Amino acid sequence: MSNQLEQLKAMTTVVADTGDFEAINEYKPQDATTNPSLILNAIQIEKYRPLAAEAVSWAKAQSNDTNEVISKAADKLAVLIGSKLMEQVPGLVSTEVDARLSFDTQATVDKALELVALYKEQGIDTSRVLIKIASTWEGIQAAKVLEAQGIRCNLTLVFAFAQARACAEVGAYLISPFVGRILDWYKAQDASADFDGANDPGVKSVTHIYNYFKKHGFETIVMGASFRNIGEIQELAGCDRLTISPKLLAELAATQAPLTQKLQPATEKADAPAAMTEHAFRWEMNEDAMATEKLSQGIRQFAIDQEKLESILSELV
């Protein structure tokens, strides 16, 4: 019998949630995704520091303004790491827009276009690039603009069904609902509750989103993310894609038990309801304390790590 990682690959596209090239080489996922936290961790490993130096050197040739150099270097570094990842995966690589732009539609669009231009300068086939954007209302509207221009987007930090639905309605290529962070919130509310297996609230959220998309014919890809244990992954086997950390990839590879496909495309189809309005989106988010808190927390943490990354780059300027 093949291990559970190999079994999972037969029913779900496996994505590596890491910037570590060696982990990707070992587990051979189809796609890779990064964020500021992962890039920050990567460049603190000595063997990856030359990429930071290369990014700073390039940025210094573009501008004499120190702040602009640091900003450009951060973008260049993300693209350099993304380009390296593309040498190791046959599919797509997600590169994230600065989280500090999460509430500015036009600034998000502009930054996305800058990242795509940097990939083109690297000679990269930009059809393999996904622009990763926080799924605020403003971010979702930015994705609508970018998708219309042929730039595919990964809407991240999805915690609420309202976010998922709004993303699908604007034609986002892919969404990343965060399983483990949803579980974290509910555990903090009631540590004694049974959240194992199918009772996991993060698993329930992704299952609901997946079933809704398939029933109503939305083509947006559902990619479960932020897993705390392989049990969550096992419960979502069959989801379009799952992005998994090296630690959990290793656990799956070491597990020999049969893996059952839990999610299946819907056989019953129905027309989609009218698209959400901004008012409806904001009200549903307001009514969902977990989603509101976790979205804000996620944006703040990515912004903090972006600033830490820029601090490291500033030392090289």
**In this structure, what CATH number is given to the domain that contains residue 272?**
3.20.20.70
Residue for token pair 């309801």? 273
Q: What are phi and psi of 16, to 5 degrees?
A: -85, 125
Which of 136, 273, 285, 164 has the alpha carbon at shortest distance from 220?
Answer: 164
What is the Cα–Cα distance from 39 to 217, expressed in whole angstroms?
Answer: 35
Confirm if 140 and 166 have CB atoms less than 8 A apart: yes
Q: What's the total number of domains in the chain?
A: 1
Q: What pLDDT is stored for residue 144 in this prediction? A: 98
Confirm if 93 and 129 have CB atoms less than 8 A apart: yes
The 10 Å Cβ neighbour count of residue 5 is 23
Q: What pLDDT is stored for residue 43 in this prediction? A: 85
Name, in order, each residue with C-beta under 8 angstroms of 90's C-beta and a sequence gap of 6 or more: 30
Confirm if 218 and 236 have CB atoms less than 8 A apart: no
Residues of the chain with pLDDT under 50: none
* The two three-digit tokens of residue 190, written as one number: 């009631």
Residue 154, H or E segment: strand 153-158
Given 132, 144, 214, 294, which residue is catalytic?
132
Query: How much is the pTM?
Result: 0.95
Confirm if 27 and 17 have CB atoms less than 8 A apart: no
Confirm if 108 and 102 have CB atoms less than 8 A apart: yes
Domain range holding 300? 4-316
Q: CA angle 90-181-96, nearest 5°?
A: 40
Confirm if 132 and 96 have CB atoms less than 8 A apart: yes
Name, in order, each residue with C-beta under 8 angstroms of 128's C-beta and a sequence gap of 6 or more: 86, 91, 92, 93
- Kindly provide the b/e burial profile for residues 123-162, where b requires at least 16 CB atoms within 10 angstroms of the residue's own CB: ebebebbbbbbbbbbbbbbbbbbbbeeebbbbbbbbbbbb
Is 204 among the residues known to form the active site? no
Would you give the DSSP letter of residue 158?
E
Give me the amino acid identity at 219.
Answer: E
Residue for token pair 């500021």? 36
